[in-house]
Amino acid sequence: MTNNAANNHATTNPPNISPEALALLGGGKIAYVKSIRSEDVSSMFPQAPALQPGMQLFALHAADGTPMMLTDSREAAVASAWSQELETVSVH
């Protein structure tokens, strides 16, 4: 008998979770770090000054996707999360 459980994930749809529900995950104590290009900064951080194109930056986001912080290193973003007592999770 073959176990098809491993193949089932390909046919299922990901859950549809609202931003409000995401914000409540982990009691508001979860955040994620996302790598972004400098060209995309103005859409997330309108108050940020113009940046040189082609730079890789890191944004700290609340669980609901709200951008919280921008930095040039992943480590600084994670440290900022920890200083705010937020746990960072990996997203792909």
Inside any domain, residue 84: yes
Average pLDDT over residues 24-34: 78
Residue in the block written with tokens 């060209």: 39
Strands of 1-92, DSSP E: 30-37, 56-62, 67-71, 87-89
Q: Can you give the pLDDT at residue 10?
A: 55
Q: Can you give the pLDDT at residue 30?
A: 87
SS3 assignment, position 18 = coil
Kindly report the pTM of this predicted structure: 0.68
Range of the domain at 83: 16-89
Inside any domain, residue 70: yes
1 pLDDT tier (thresholds 50, 70, 90): very low
Inside any domain, residue 30: yes
Residues in the chain: 92
Structure tokens at 49: 């000054």
Structure tokens at 77: 């973003």
Domain count, the chain: 1
